[in-house]
Every structure is written in C-alpha cells, then in structure tokens.
Chain A
Amino acid sequence: MKVSRVGFISALIYTGLSIVLAGAFFVATLLGNYNWLTRLGGAGWVFLLSMIILMPVVTPLIKKRVQSR
C-alpha cells in the first residue's frame, strides 16, 4: 500500500517538475528565432533529462517522508 502510494506521489512530483522545466525551456525558445520543431524537440530532450535526474532524487525523499509518518 505504502509502496504504491510512494510511487504515485513521486511520479506526480517528478513528472510535474519535468513538465515545468520543459515548459520553461519552450517559453525561453519563444524569445529566440527557432522553428517549432526545434522548440518541441529541445523541450522533449529537456523533459527526458529532467525526468531522469528527478526520478532518483524525488522517490527516496518521498519514501522517507511517508515512512517517517
């Protein structure tokens, strides 16, 4: 029960943060002279790397918090 809850909360957080970062990237590209596909491709890559970076960081943090309650 606890495990699935940790997984769900963690996924919400790291996916949400990754979307925010990818969105920030996309918005930043709007200030420059980039075509749409470059913007989308770049945002996709930023999203992927952000997910990879945040997953192992967020999951243990949430697990710790849930277990300490």
Chain B
Amino acid sequence: MTEDKHMKKTTLSIGGMTCAACVGHVEKALKDTRGVKGTVVNLATGKASVEYDPAETSLSTIKKAVDEIGYEVILNTANLQVTGMTCASCVDHVQKAVSELPGVYRVVANLASSSARVEYEPQITSIGEIIKTIREVGYEAVERSEGAEALDREKEARDRDIKRQRNNLIISGTLGVLVMLGMFQPYWFPDLLPVWLNDNMKVVLFILTTPIVFGPGRQFFVNSWNGLKRGLTDMNLLYATGIGAAYGIAVINTFWPEAGFGGKDVTFYEAAAMLTAFIILGRYLEAITRGRTSQAIRRLMKLQPKRAKVLRDGQETDIPAEEVQIGDILLVRPGEAIPVDGRVTDGYSSVDQSMITGESIPVEKKTGDDVIGGTINKTGAFKFQATRVGKDTALAQIIKLVEDAQTTKAPIQKLADKVAGHFILGVHMVALIVFLFWFFAGYGLWFVPESRLILTPYTLTGLGVFGFALLTSVTVLVISCPCAVGLATPSAIMAGSGKAAEYGILFKGADAMEGTARLQAIIFDKTGTLTKGEPSVTDVITAGELAENEVLRLAAVAEKNSEHPLGEAIVSGARERGLELADAAGFNAIPGQGVEVQLDGRTILLGNRKLMADRNVSLDKLVGEAERLEHEGKTAMFVAVGGKPAGIVAVADTLKETSARAVEELHRMGIQVAMITGDNRRTAEAIARQVGIDRVLAEVLPEDKANEVKKLQAEGLRVAMVGDGINDAPALAQADVGIAIGSGTDVAKETGHVILVKDDLMDVVAALQVGRQTLRLIKQNLFWAFGYNTVTIPIGAGLLYPFVAQMVSPELAALLMATSSLSVTLNTLRMRGYVPPIRRKDIDFGEGHIHTVARVPQTSA
C-alpha cells in the first residue's frame, strides 16, 4: 500500500447519527468534500475516521460539510485564561494565531474577561500546542478548568442527548397516555365523562396530540426535511411520514368528518401520539445503552491523569499533565497516578499496571526502570524523568489504537451496510406497493368491518378504502427497523475491542477481530515467543565425585570472563544458586571447543566432546546422559577437573511458563498449531515436543518465514503468525492475522494486526476467545435484525389480515421497532460481563491442574 505523506488522518466525533442511513449520509458528505481522500463512519462509536489533504481542506470545511446535512462534529472546547491582552488588537492577534492552527475550528478571545474559548479537535491540535501558540505571540495562557470537560466531552454530549430525549419522553409519554385513555374511553369506561366532554372528545384529543407531534415529534420532521433537501432519506423520514399521516387523517376527520377519510369515528390521534412516544422511548433507551458499550474505552480515557508534580529549580510545582515536557523530572507519591511515561531516576516502589497491561500483580520499579503514564504508584515515592508525553504516551497510543479499531468495519458488515444503505428507500417502495395493493384489490377482497387492531378493542368499521390502505402503508413504514441492522456489527466490534483492551489485547481493526475469530492455524515463532529467548541452565549432572553445585560452580568459574551467551547463562545460573565464583587464572578460549582455566592449581575444562577427546578425558559414563540432553534440544557441555570428567552442564532456551498451556488450549479450540524456527530440526522438534506442537517448520531463515506462512495459506488455512513485532514483520504482514507479542507499551511501532502488550501466550488464546465471542454477538445481532424485519414487515403489510382479521396498529409497530433496536444493543451489552475462559479464575484445564489466572483489571468507570 502506498501512503501519501501529505495526507493526514483524524477521528472526529459525530453527533446526531441514529441509524445506518445516517452513516451513509455522513460518509457521503465527507467523501464529497474536496481534499477528503477516505472516510469510515461508525454508528456505534459515533465517530468518523477521515483521511484528508490539509493543503486542500481544513477542519472547518469538514465540519461544515457534516453540519450542513443535519449532523454535528463534536469538538473539544477549551476555556483559556489569557493574560497580557490590553486592547482590541491583542484580541485579534490571539484569535488570528490560534485560528491558523489546523485543528482549531473557532476561537473567541475576550478582552474583558481575559479569556479565550477555543473549539478544536485534539487529535489534530492539542491544547498544549494552542497554549504554546498564544505564548509565542506574546501572551500568557493557562487552562481555566481542570480539564475535566475535555476528558468527558463525549459523555457530556451523550448526557445532553439522553436528557433531551428524556424530556421529550416525559411530554410525549404523559400526553400520549391521556390521548390513549381518551381514545378508548368509550370502550373502557363509557359512562365516566360528562356529555359535553364526550361530545368534544376529538377536539380534546387534537389539543393533547398537537403538542406531541410538534414538540417532541418535531425533530423527525426537521431532520427528514434537512435530509430530503439534499436528496437523502433516513429513519426520521419513516417516522415523519408515519406520524404525519396518522395525525393528518385524525385532524381531517375531526374537523372535516365528511371529507371521506372514514368519518368522525376514525381518528388516529392515539397512533400519532403513542407512535411518537414509543420512537422517543426507543431513542432514549438506546442512548443510555449505547453509551455503555463504549465504557471500556472511557475507562482507559479516565486513566489519563490531569495533574503532575514537576520538580523545577528544586521546587515542586503542580501543573496540568498536558504541559509536562520531555525531560521534566516528576515526583510521584504512594497512591498517586503516574502522569506520563518515563524512567525512574530516584526511589523505589511497586506500581499497579493492571489497567494497561492486564498484569494482576504490582510491578517493582527501581532506578532505570520504565514507568507508564496512567498506572498507579502503590508503595514508595519516587522521581522519574518524562520520556513520552501527550499523544505519545502508551496510554494515549492504546486509546488511539482502540478508537481507530472501533471506527473500522468488519468484512461481515458489508452485507449489513448494503442492506441498510437501501433500506429506507426499499421500505418506502414496499409501503407504496402495499398501499396500492390494499386500495385496488385487498380492501375489496378481505376487508371486514368488524376487524380490529391487534390488542385493542378498536374496530375498523368506519375505515374507508383509503383509510385502510393508508393504515397498512403507515404501519409498514413504522414497523421496519434499519437501526438494528446498522447497529448489529459496529456495536459488537466496539464492545469486543474495548473488552480486549482490558486484557492488553489491542486489535488494530474490525477486520483483525473478525480474522482472529475465524483462524484455523497459528504459527508461533520459537525464540522469544514460545521460549524466553535467553539460554539458561536446565540440568547439572555430576559424574559422581563432585556435588551438582560444585560442578556448576567450576563451570561458572571457567566462564566467568566469557562473553559467549552460553557462558553467560552458566554464570548467571550459578549466581542464582548463590554460588561464590572465584577468579580463575590462565583463561584460554579454544575456538569451537570450549574454555580452559586454572583454579587452585587444577586445570578446569569446559566444552564439547572434541575438547575432552583432545585432552584425553574419558566420557564413558557421561555420553549417554549427554545424548539424552541433546535429544531434548539442550546444549550439553562437559566439565573436567584435573583431567578427570566431573559432570555435564546443560543449557537451553527454556519455554515460557504458559507456552504449553496456551498450545493445549488452542488445540482444544480446534486450531492447528505450528512452530517456526531457524534452529536445526532436532532441537526444534525437542522444543515442539515439550510444548505439544506437532508441526515444526525448522531451519527456516528469517527472510523465508513469510514463505512458510504462504505455504500454509495455500493449504486453504486461515493463518495467524505470532512473533516479535519487529523481527518477524514480513511474516506477520503475510499472515491473515499477524499477532505481535510482548510489545510492551510502545504499541504504535508494532507491525501486526493484533498487539499483545504482555509477553504472555495466554493472551493469544484470550484474543481468539474475545474475537470469537464478538463474532458470535455480531451473528446473533444480524440474525435478529434481519429476522425481525423479514417477519414484521409482511405482518405490518397485512399479510395475516385475510386470515385473522386483525391489523397491527402504528403505535404497536413503533413499540416493536423500538424493542428491536434495543434488543440488539442489549445483546451487545452482554460483552461487558464477558471474561475470556482462559482468564477466568480457577479453571480446570483438563489435567486435574487448577490454575489461578490473572484477575480482570477493573477501574472505576
């Protein structure tokens, strides 16, 4: 893929999108904007990923394009305290300087209050850059607030929406119930009301319904008109036509009963009122629940500390975390959050990193260790030097990665998108066909005056041919639910990627998530992935005269000054056992054979068979043991003291603790597991045996790893490659899913479609489990969404009427529609409580072992 260096990519929060058609509109508006090269809009996250050429367009133009079609680009607002402005031209300077920044949409500086209010997109321009710009033109600027509103801008926008819909619901619900009671009063309690009220009941209903239609219901008319002006249709149009038709007929039959639309007894006030109330109820509940599907990312966002204690000129200064500069020395006390990424310069403590890496146990930090911004200092106070700040911190990178993933689309969504894109148009066409059918044929064939609306005592006696055909037509419009189709996939992707992030599993896109769920084979790189990547002492065998520790001590003494990796492993193995290593004399490295040293007048040899043979050391007793060790993939080194064999020290790259369990679990999940390595076949097979892998790709040069992946793909398998994100980059790129393991916190640099923050193979299993659960949710959601529309639209169209003489009322249709989209969201919300089976506590993995695994990191929402 070629990449244009001039292009910029940003993610914008879009307000006002309610269904899949809205997504299409926003995407279209953005794509039609000059300078925008690509865009992906996600309904569930309410975000648009926009790739644009800053030379051709600006944030203002992009925002205008979105705002013009009735939606809103939600921007951050910063209130700055600007000091030093003394006249109107100062105000002008500040405004001009700030407004020229690429991510600033609007700036208003106020001389009287010494303030500036800036609307900006933080992904393009940070608040720090804005403040810096103001300072560069000669004024002092600081943020007025604590930055809380910046962090919660999305929550605020959603809360506003929830509040608006709640108020609408209270009005439409209360009046709607009154209208309903008034409408059915003659059937339910005929003698309750005085005669004068009964006689004028239709007028009363008109008075009660009108505020509903033009108050809470106004949004549907306004939004659909905004869309229609530009040739766009959306859900609002379905509602507007439904509500408008029901209300229009009711008004005509109330004031002009002889007009021929069914007479005074046929009014649809309750339909217009309850239709509006139910649609708003659906939107209200959806606004509440949809916000919850994105809580995982919000939890990450909330981790971002707002303040930092910086040591400047020996003084401790409390400043906003955004103003910390690289190189600043910061102080962190017990219980405080670490504000930015850095390296410990003084002090000792343990730090809870579970919120970033998923590790359950606090990690010890001493001078020289790296610390991650957003993690919590537990025990001691320490100082550290900031190494990464602002959008470069690990937490910011993770948030961006998860957000980016949530704005991508899974391949499974293509069908849903295609359907949703033409849904509204299709439903209106069906509504027209249904109207024509019932007008010209159906009414004459099957209409029964005594027929009823389902679940009501309300007969259709007074309905003429036009009223009946219109009723069915309106019901079709209202009962259809493209929202469910549009929400099915993105809401699940959002919940799944957020859940995965809680475990330090970062999916780079929805396609990676779906790809992971569909994997059939996984290739593990050996060194550093299945194994620790560092050789260590695995066995010490004595020839009989010396104790094991003495054999190891002598071997370590011989290797004490060696720089060979195997020698270093022996030395560190001896030190781990607490052995004192004396200084030997006469160090002699014999190339390709081993080493020779003198200690206390004795000659110590450490090396292979050839060295021992050359020095006439008889190995009879040890050869068998050496062969066994070599068969296990270990390097056996003989130790001889004073010309006599003393023992063997075996060194090998050892398996990680969780490798075998992870492979076992993958096998259980039906995944083929292979190992790829440059090692010789014997060593490779020995490791594979230990870990339970039956397919070994040995003696593969690093540059040929991608070809091996291709070979497996040629067998028709969907293959993942798990390896080091940097060394195995070509193979990771070739695989259907490249999983970069143990990337630590520098996630932005990683190749691969899935990034595992921790160096734990269990996370590969967890990634598959989260991916599969997400795909399962998507399929359930799609089944429900398509199933609902397939079943209800024909029923709404009157398919069952000839057999049961009952029709679905528009208000019941609205209730069904609201339930449908809500059910999809509620199904997705099940992901909140999901814990990948491999990460559940106390799971029996089938061999009688009870493993206690990492707890689920939870932070307060």
**With an 8 A cutoff between CB atoms, is B440 at the interface?**
yes
Assembled-state Cα–Cα distance A49/B428 (Å) = 7
Once A49-B435, A55-B233 are accepted as A-B contacts, the answer to whether A41 and B228 lie under 8 Å apart by CB is: no
- A37 and B260 contact, CB distance less than 8 A: yes
Asked if A50 contacts B432 (CB within 8 A), the reply is yes
The answer to whether B260 touches A56 (Cβ under 8 A) is: no
Please determine whether A56 and B435 come into contact, CB atoms closer than 8 angstroms.
Answer: no
Q: What residues of A have a CB within 8 angstroms of the CB of B231 in the complex?
A: 10, 55-56, 58-60
The answer to whether B603 has its CB under 8 Å from any CB of chain A is no
Q: Report how far A48 CA is from B432 CA in the complex, Å.
A: 10
B469 within 8 A of A: yes
User: Which residue of chain A has its CB nearest to the CB of B260?
Assistant: A37
The answer to whether B466 touches A41, judged by C-beta atoms less than 8 angstroms apart, is: yes
| Other-chain contact of B466, A38, A49, A55, A57 (Cβ < 8 Å) | A38
Contacts of B326 in A (CB 8 A): none
| Inter-chain contact A38/B432, CB cutoff 8 Å | no
Chain A residues, Cβ within 8 Å of B261: 37-38, 41
What does the 1/0 interface line of A34-60 toward B look like (CB < 8 Å)? 111110011001101110110111111
Number of interface residues of B (CB under 8 A): 26
A36 to B259, CA, bound (A): 9
Given A53-B425, A57-B425: A46 in contact with B260 (beta carbons within 8 A): no
Residues in A with CB closer than 8 Å to B470 are 41, 45
* B251 sits at the interface (CB 8 A): no
From the candidates B428, B436, B440, name the one contacting A52 in the complex (CB within 8 A): B428
Shortest Cβ gap from A62 to chain B (Å): 9
B79 within 8 A of A: no
B435→A34 contact, CB < 8 A: no
Chain A residues, CB < 8 A from B425:
53, 56-57
Contact, CB under 8 Å: A34 / B465: yes
Give B230-269 as 1s and 0s: 1 = Cβ < 8 Å from A's Cβ atoms. 1111000100010001000000000000011100000000
Nearest Cβ on chain B to A41's Cβ, whole angstroms: 5
Number of inter-chain CB pairs below 8 Å: 61
Among residues of B, the one whose C-beta sits closest to the C-beta of A11 is: B231
Instruction: List the B side residues contacting A10 at CB < 8 Å.
Output: 231
Residue A28 interfacial (CB < 8 Å):
yes
A59 neighbours in B (Cβ, 8 Å): 230-231
Note all chain B residues with C-beta closer than 8 A to A49.
Answer: 241, 428, 431-432, 435, 473
Report the minimal beta-carbon distance from A60 to chain B, rounded to whole angstroms.
7
A38 and B435 within 8 A (CB): no
* Cα distance A69–B219 in the bound complex, in angstroms: 38
Most chain-B Cβ atoms within 10 A of its Cβ — which of A49, A50, A59? Answer: A49
B458 within 8 A of A: no
Which residue in A34, A37, A53, A58 is a CB contact (below 8 Å) of B259? A37
- Closest CB in chain A relative to B859 CB, distance in Å: 45
- Which B-chain residue is minimally distant from A48 (CB atoms)? B241
User: CA separation between A26 and B187, bound complex, in Å?
Assistant: 37
Q: Is B623's beta carbon under 8 Å from chain A?
A: no
Q: How far is the CA of A25 from the CA of B432 in the complex (A)?
A: 11
> Which residues of the partner chain A approach B643 to less than 8 Å between Cβ atoms?
none
Measured between beta carbons, the chain A residues less than 8 angstroms from B230 are 59
Which chain A residues lie closer than 8 Å to B232 at the CB level?
A: 56
Complex CA gap A32/B440 in Å reads 9
User: Contacting A25 at CB < 8 Å: which of B237, B428, B436, B465?
Assistant: B436
Contacts of A41 in B (CB 8 A): 260-261, 466, 470
Q: Is B464 an interface residue (CB 8 A)?
A: yes
Residues of B close to A35: CB separation below 8 A: 260
Measured CA separation A49–B431 after assembly (Å):
8
A52 cross-chain contacts in B, Cβ below 8 A: 228, 233, 237, 241, 428
Least Cβ distance of B259 to chain A in Å?
5
List, in ascending order, chain A residues with CB within 8 A of B429's CB: 53
CA distance A52 to B465 in the complex (A): 23
* A 1-24 binary contact with B (CB < 8 Å = 1; else 0): 000000000100000000000000
Chain B residues whose CB sits within 8 angstroms of the CB of A37 once the complex forms: 259-261, 466
The listed residue (B233, B259, B439) touching A42 by CB distance below 8 A is B439
A28-B440, A37-B260, A38-B260 in contact; A53/B432 too (CB < 8 A)?
Answer: yes
Known: A32-B440, A55-B231. A46 touches B435 (CB 8 A): yes
Q: Are B431 and A38 in contact (CB under 8 A)?
A: no
Closest to A40 in B: B260
When C-beta atoms are compared, the residue in chain A nearest to B21 turns out to be: A56
A20 CB to closest chain B CB (Å) equals 14
In Å, the complex CA distance between A11 and B259 comes to: 31
User: A56, B439: Cβ atoms under 8 Å?
Assistant: no
Across the interface, A56 reaches (CB within 8 A) one of B233, B241, B464, B469, namely B233
In the bound assembly, the distance between CA atoms of A49 and B466 in angstroms comes to 15
CA distance A57 to B470 in the complex (A): 24
B229 to chain A, nearest CB (A): 9
B145-183: contact bitstring with A at CB < 8 Å (1 yes, 0 no)? Answer: 000000000000000000000000000000000000000
A46 touches B432 (CB 8 A): yes
A11 CB to closest chain B CB, in angstroms? 10
- CA distance in complex: A58, B261 (Å): 32
Alpha-carbon distance A36/B470, docked complex (angstroms):
16
> What does the 1/0 interface line of B121-148 toward A look like (CB < 8 Å)?
0000000000000000000000000000
Within the complex, the shortest CB–CB distance from B249 to chain A, in Å, comes to: 9
Residues in B whose Cβ lies below 8 Å from that of A53 = 425, 428-429, 432
**Chain A hits for B436, CB < 8 A:** 25, 46
Residues of A within 8 A of B241 (CB): 48-49, 52
Given contacts A46-B432, A52-B233, A56-B232, 13 further A-B contacts (CB under 8 A): A37-B466, A38-B261, A38-B465, A41-B261, A41-B466, A42-B469, A45-B435, A49-B473, A55-B228, A56-B233, A58-B231, A59-B230, A59-B231
Listed A/B pairs (12) with beta-carbon separation below 8 Å: A28-B440, A34-B465, A38-B464, A38-B466, A49-B241, A52-B428, A53-B425, A53-B428, A55-B228, A55-B233, A56-B231, A56-B232
Chain B residues at the A interface, C-beta cutoff of 8 Å:
228, 230-233, 237, 241, 245, 259-261, 425, 428-429, 431-432, 435-436, 439-440, 464-466, 469-470, 473
Which 6 pairs of residues, A with B, have the shortest CB-CB distance? A59-B231, A37-B260, A49-B432, A38-B466, A41-B466, A56-B231
